[in-house]
Chains A and B, each alone.
Chain A
Amino acid sequence: MSDTRILAADGTPLKKKLAQSMFRTKLRAFGLVCPLLALIISAFVLPILFMLSAAVYDDSYSSLMPESTTAMQEWDGESPITEAMAAAMVSDLIRARENKDIGKVANRVNREYSGATSLFKSTSRSAKKFEPPYLEALLAKDKDWNDKELWQGIKIASNTYTLGYIANAIDMRAKATGGFEPQDELRQIHITLFIRTIEISFIVTVACLLLGYPVAYLMANLPLRTSNLLLILVLMPFWTSLLVRTTAWIAMLQGQGVMNDLFVAFGVANDEDRFSLIYNKTGTLIAMTHIMLPFMIMPLYSVMKTISPAYVRAAKSMGATNWTAFWKVYFPQSVPGIGAGSLLVFILAIGYYITPALVGGQDGQMISNIIDFHMRKSLNWNLAAALGFVLLVFVLFFFWIYDRVVGIDNMKLG
């Protein structure tokens, strides 16, 4: 092969010569994107990787309770609790209390075994006075130390690398003996939320498409002046804060709000039982559809603008009715815009957070609201990370489906 390579005039291989001559151009291009690249890596890629790692990495027990961790790893999770395990536990509890780390440890175990917080704290207070045998001392302090489920919880908490959080995110939990089992029925909330999130995102996407397509079509086929005016109207919501728009919907949709007053005035609803349009799923759907609409219209419009009116005319000249000309000729050419708009809206909607939080009430909450809850209220960042990871997997899955059905090359944003 090498002897058939084309050489430049000075004898160097042409490929090498080309690379040399392009080097400055490439360097310049790299220089131009460098600041943004640095920002993205430091403010986007690294935090995300760090956050995702929290979904499977948790050393809050193993780093603070080293002796107990070793003992727990040796235990099979089934056989009776040994004196060695108890001794390691007491020694670690004393140290954790001295270092003021006992709260963290207690919290970690409490996620696996309810009631562990107070048990750990109270035990650690008297641990210094314990005499061997430590197992009996523990039992004397609190009968709960006899509960095998507690020790199993401790064993799970002692794993530094764990799939437990991801399992929690899909309503499963790790077993101390290895493997996974379904979460307690009362604590199974995530799957429902994921399904609701996908359902809401899907409905919002379809609603945006149905509402946005005619508008985009009109804009693409009107004279430039009129279509520019329409474009400004479509983009107008972006000039107002998202918070203001969402709050405006509250004023519109609430029980004594504008919409309900109108319904009552026109006799659609009785004054006594007005429609509940907000603080539920309906509210989330209405407000999110409104907020996402421009993201659907813009890609549709930019694709439709490139479809020459000559195509529809040609179809009509060949005998196609208005509908046939639209459905067989115009619509297929607008599919790239539909694809781009739908994907954009769906992916934005699936992670949407502010609007459901403000107008969603109880049954209009989405998975991101739960992630927020774990980030800010329960401070279970590991579970938040695991939920985020599962959400990311969903998004990638839908992206893959989209690629299979429509084809990602078929997407056009302008």
Chain B
Amino acid sequence: MAKSLPFVRYDNVQKSYDGESLVVKNLNLDIEKGEFVTMLGPSGSGKTTCLMMLAGFETATHGDILLDGKPINNIPPHRRGIGMVFQNYALFPHMTVNENLAFPLKVRKMDKAETEAKVKRALEMVQMEAFGDRKPAQLSGGQQQRIALARALVFEPELVLMDEPLGALDKQLREHMQYEIKHIHESLGVTVVYVTHDQSEALTMSNRIAVFNDGVVQQLADPVTLYERPDNAFVAQFIGENNTLVGKVTSTKAGKVDVDLGKHGHVEAVKVVEVAKGGQTTLSIRPERVAFEAKAPKGKMSLPAKVLEMIYLGDHIRCRMSVAGNDEFIAKIPNSNKTITLAPGKDGFVSWNIDDCRALDYS
């Protein structure tokens, strides 16, 4: 029985705080052993609540959470054996780094020598051996982050939860820590459930990402699928940058739809969601898949466009233009040797491959 089940399973989980509205609506989510799963979503989307239910600090209003095949709804947090990294680290300010790390071992009544050895090993893992006698207040944000990570791992839990652990760090340190967490995950093989609202963090580290919005998982997929083939307009909008055009479906055939953009013409797009003929749809095109040319190229979809603004960003140029009535249509044009003679006010055509344009739900 236990074998056939995943390591963590959310089974029809619902959560309400006030008895009037659901913060989490019918969540089903399976996490395999050793996976790095990220719950990604804007604030208030229910992702932290889901994590807290797994940790045991919130109880599910309905449904079961299964850990290693056993329902854990009635197990108090301290008996779940789940490591956790908190948003502001929650390092105990009255204890030294060593005492902080020894805490989970002490409450497990581990003997002194073993405790010391494990604390030392955990500090080595995060390259903080020299800081054992300091108090948390004497450490920088990044150092505190490492200690919090080491503390969540020192008692060798099989599951580690991280609640926006990098939120308080500056951009450079955050990126560095992302790689470090990823490497620790790979070398230890622990299962990690990670909560963040930062999509690049999610894309960098995760095996799979669950995109939350409004208490519902919008899409659960690996980073590539999520970026390349978003299931709906919210995911397309939330992960990466996205151009949207709204039109009416005129005909559907073999995985493709024809979309009428009114007076701006019509385009063909990949069918993702079922939209009835005559229904409205949102077309999604990634800015880096768009080219700007003087003439409409053959074998590609194209629409007339007018350049409105150019922003030089070093490795690429962001070009804002007006396409089919949308003045916020962005194209990322690589900064290459080819001299691109683009200037605001210039008319031309934007073009893309049919497969890069996805017809999603109208929202």
In this assembly, does B86 line the interface, its C-beta being within 8 Å of a C-beta of chain A?
Answer: yes
Q: Chain A, 293-326, contact with B by CB distance < 8 Å: what is the 0/1 string?
A: 0000000000000001011011111111110110
What residues on A are CB-neighbors of B81 within 8 Å?
Answer: 319
What residues on B are CB-neighbors of A316 within 8 Å?
Answer: 56-57, 76-78
CB distance from A32 to the nearest CB of B (A): 32
In this assembly, does A62 line the interface, its C-beta being within 8 Å of a C-beta of chain B?
Answer: no
In this assembly, does A282 line the interface, its C-beta being within 8 Å of a C-beta of chain B?
Answer: no
CB distance from B155 to the nearest CB of A (A): 7
B78/A313 in contact, CB under 8 A: no
In this assembly, does B1 line the interface, its C-beta being within 8 Å of a C-beta of chain A?
Answer: no
Q: Which of A93-101, A108-116, A242-250, A328-336 contacts B (4 or more CB under 8 A)?
A: A328-336
B90/A310 in contact, CB under 8 A: yes
Q: Among the listed A311, A317, A321, which residue makes an inter-chain contact with B92, where contact means beta carbons less than 8 Å apart? A: A311
A317/B107 in contact, CB under 8 A: no
> Which residue among B80, B84, B88, B155 has the maximum number of chain A CB atoms within 10 Å of its CB?
B84
A333/B90 in contact, CB under 8 A: no
B90/A319 in contact, CB under 8 A: no
Of the A-B pairs whose beta carbons lie under 8 Å apart in the complex, a sample of 19, sorted by A's number, is A310-B87, A313-B57, A313-B86, A314-B84, A314-B92, A316-B76, A316-B78, A317-B77, A317-B83, A318-B103, A318-B104, A318-B107, A318-B155, A319-B78, A320-B104, A320-B107, A324-B107, A328-B103, A333-B94
B90/A320 in contact, CB under 8 A: no
Which secondary structure characterizes the binding site on chain B? Answer: loop
CB distance from B53 to the nearest CB of A (A): 13
Query: What is the chain A residue whose CB lies nearest that of B91?
Result: A314
State the CA gap A315–B155 with chains docked (Å): 13
A332/B88 in contact, CB under 8 A: no
What residues on A are CB-neighbors of B108 within 8 Å?
Answer: 319
State the CA gap A315–B107 with chains docked (Å): 9
User: Which positions in B face A, CB cutoff 8 Å?
Assistant: 55-57, 76-84, 86-88, 90, 92-94, 103-104, 107-108, 151-152, 155, 161
CB distance from A313 to the nearest CB of B (A): 6
A319/B84 in contact, CB under 8 A: no
A325/B86 in contact, CB under 8 A: no
What residues on A are CB-neighbors of B80 within 8 Å?
Answer: 317
What residues on B are CB-neighbors of A322 within 8 Å?
Answer: 76, 78
State the CA gap A218–B90 with chains docked (Å): 21
What residues on B are CB-neighbors of A324 within 8 Å?
Answer: 107
State the CA gap A322–B107 with chains docked (Å): 12
CB distance from B192 to the nearest CB of A (A): 14
What residues on A are CB-neighbors of B86 within 8 Å?
Answer: 310, 313-314
CB distance from B96 to the nearest CB of A (A): 13
What residues on B are CB-neighbors of A310 within 8 Å?
Answer: 86-88, 90
B93/A333 in contact, CB under 8 A: yes
What residues on B are CB-neighbors of A319 within 8 Å?
Answer: 78-79, 81, 104, 107-108, 155
B78/A308 in contact, CB under 8 A: no
CB distance from B300 to the nearest CB of A (A): 53
B90/A311 in contact, CB under 8 A: yes
A325/B78 in contact, CB under 8 A: yes
State the CA gap A324–B107 with chains docked (Å): 8
Query: What is the chain B residue whose CB lies nearest that of A332?
Result: B94
CB distance from B172 to the nearest CB of A (A): 25
CB distance from B56 to the nearest CB of A (A): 8
State the CA gap A23–B155 with chains docked (Å): 57
What residues on A are CB-neighbors of B151 within 8 Å?
Answer: 318
What residues on A are CB-neighbors of B155 within 8 Å?
Answer: 318-319
Other 10 A-B pairs with CB < 8 A, given A310-B87, A313-B77, A322-B76: A313-B57, A314-B84, A314-B90, A317-B84, A317-B161, A318-B103, A321-B107, A325-B78, A328-B103, A332-B94
B88/A308 in contact, CB under 8 A: yes
> Which residue among A322, A328, A333 has the maximum number of chain B CB atoms within 10 Å of its CB?
A328
Q: Which 6 A-B pairs have the closest CB atoms?
A: A318-B104, A314-B90, A317-B84, A310-B90, A316-B77, A332-B94
CB distance from B85 to the nearest CB of A (A): 9
Q: Among the listed A308, A321, A328, which residue makes an inter-chain contact with B90, where contact means beta carbons less than 8 Å apart? A: A308
